[in-house]
Amino acid sequence: MDAQPVVVGVDGGPDSLKALAWAAEYASSVGAPLIALAAVETPAVVGPYAMAGWVDPSILEERARIMLSDSVRDTLGDDARVDQTVLRGHPAEAIVAASRDARLVVVGSRGWGGFRGLLMGSVSQHVVAHSRSPVVVLPRQAEDA
């Protein structure tokens, strides 16, 4: 497709699922393709005991693919037309890189690693500051939602 895509960051958390639903509705309304993006950051492990905690990056990528596929299916249904992409690297950097060709980037305000009380997580803050396209940050889910 020649149309610029809508890119949405997905980590499987409730805020990212809300962002996925919003991004899908927006992309549909403007006739744009939708890219759901997950990123896998391989932890740096050094020292003599590094191998004890080492996880094969391909296993992390496969888990991310499953999470992304499940998130798209559960949020948008089996018939959703979404390009599902898993990249290696820090989530914020992966989303910023994808923003270069995007019409719009959509993220949730906080991911799984968010600290209670923060208005926006570190990924959404980084994306807002560095994106090459407009960014929509969906507000946080209520604690009791």
Quick one: average pLDDT of 1-12? 88
pLDDT in the model for residue 39: 92
CATH number listed for the domain at residues 6-138: 3.40.50.620
Quick one: average pLDDT of 110-128? 62
- Cα(32)–Cα(38) distance, rounded to whole angstroms? 19
Asked if residue 116 has pLDDT above 70, the reply is no
**Domain regions of the chain by residue span:** 6-138
Q: Are the C-beta atoms of residues 118 and 89 closer than 8 Å to each other?
A: no
pLDDT in the model for residue 48: 59
Give the least confident one: 30-34, 45-49, 69-73. Answer: 45-49
In terms of Cβ atoms closer than 10 Å to its own Cβ (0-12, 13-18, 19+), residue 59 is exposed
**Residues with Cβ < 8 Å from 62, sequence gap 6 or more?**
none
